Amino acid sequence: MRARGKGQPHTEGGRPRRLAPGLVVVGTIVLVSTAFLSAQPRPERSAPERWLADLLEPGQTLVAHLERRLQEGLDNLRELATIRRSYEELLAHNERLALELSMLAGVAAENRELRRQLGLPEPDEHRLLAADVIQREPSRWYSQIVINRGLDDGVRGGMAVVAPGGVVGQVQSVSARTAVITLLTDVRSAAGGLVVRTGDLVLVEGTGAGGPLHVRALTPAASFEPGDEVVASGLGGVYPRGVRIGTLREVRPGQAGLGREGWLVPGADVERLFHVYVVVPQGAGAAGSGGRR
């Protein structure tokens, strides 16, 4: 074995050890050059670029998949947090409603006892019959709707129709399985109203359009302001007393300075009526066996 002389490069197996770092440098230069060339707008990729793309594809696919799954997980966590907050809010709201309902039950019991002592008749009781809106013509959008309840369900002409927001209208005509409803927004419609804040009586009239309803004071001394809530007075014989009609938006002196008039935003969303309720007086049953289910 021959000794390595001074200044002679160290070899192993006849190859200099400095060859490996040189290959790394050359490889790095090739990769950088390839990346630079691939960034330039060219119609086709070169063979090294295609080879490099095929080599990196499995890793890129895996990274993209993991990134997508991570994003989905983060979205699910945010959605769960939102659902939890909504659930807690609904729980608190339900508790408040239960408390208010128990208080109202006590008030109703006191009211019944007071009416009994005074010899007053019991107020009419009603049930709500759910119905779907099955027809609505664009030319009569603010005048009429057709629902899928009729004589077979106990619906009769003149019955009130309401929605979660308040008064909708009244039954105009009835067939065995359908009914035509005239909306309160119709120009021929009107309802007796009561200003909640003052107790003053007003008349709410349809305008035939989708905007606010017209409100007229029924007495010269009647007082109401923007923001006042108006409910059904129950004096017209159609809408039960206390059913919400809407909120006053604008108030001004009446014609010739007599009384006041204003404009009221309906509580029911007349633009988007899909489900309504017919107010059926207690005891008014269906013509057949209790109506359709």
- 32 and 118 share one domain: yes
CA distance 229 to 247: 5
State which of 63, 91, 123 marks the end of a domain.
Answer: 123
pTM of the model: 0.60
Q: Would you say 175 and 292 are in contact if contact means Cβ atoms under 8 Å apart? A: no
72, 89, 123 - which closes a domain: 123
Is 162 found in the same domain as 137?
yes
The backbone torsions φ and ψ at residue 9, rounded to the nearest 5 degrees and listed phi first, read -65, 140
Q: How many domains does the chain have?
A: 2
Alpha-carbon distance of 202 to 224, in angstroms, equals: 9
Q: Return the DSSP state at 173.
A: E
Rounded CA-CA distance 131/292 in Å is 11
> Helix or strand or coil: residue 32?
helix
SS3 string, 196-209, reads CCCCCEEEEECCCC
d(CA 17, CA 11) in angstroms, rounded, equals 6
The answer to whether residue 13 is domain-embedded is no
pLDDT by 10s per residue, the chain, length 293: 444 544 454 544 445 555 556 555 555 655 555 555 555 555 676 777 778 777 878 888 888 888 888 888 888 888 888 898 888 888 888 877 877 776 776 677 777 778 778 887 766 678 899 999 999 999 999 999 999 999 999 999 999 999 988 999 999 999 999 999 999 999 999 999 999 999 999 999 999 888 899 999 988 888 899 999 999 998 888 998 889 999 999 998 876 656 789 999 999 999 889 999 999 987 665 554 445 65
Residue pair 245/193 in contact (Cβ under 8 Å)? The answer is yes
Structural domain including 115 reads: 20-38+45-123
Q: What is the CATH number of the domain that holds 180?
A: 2.40.10.340
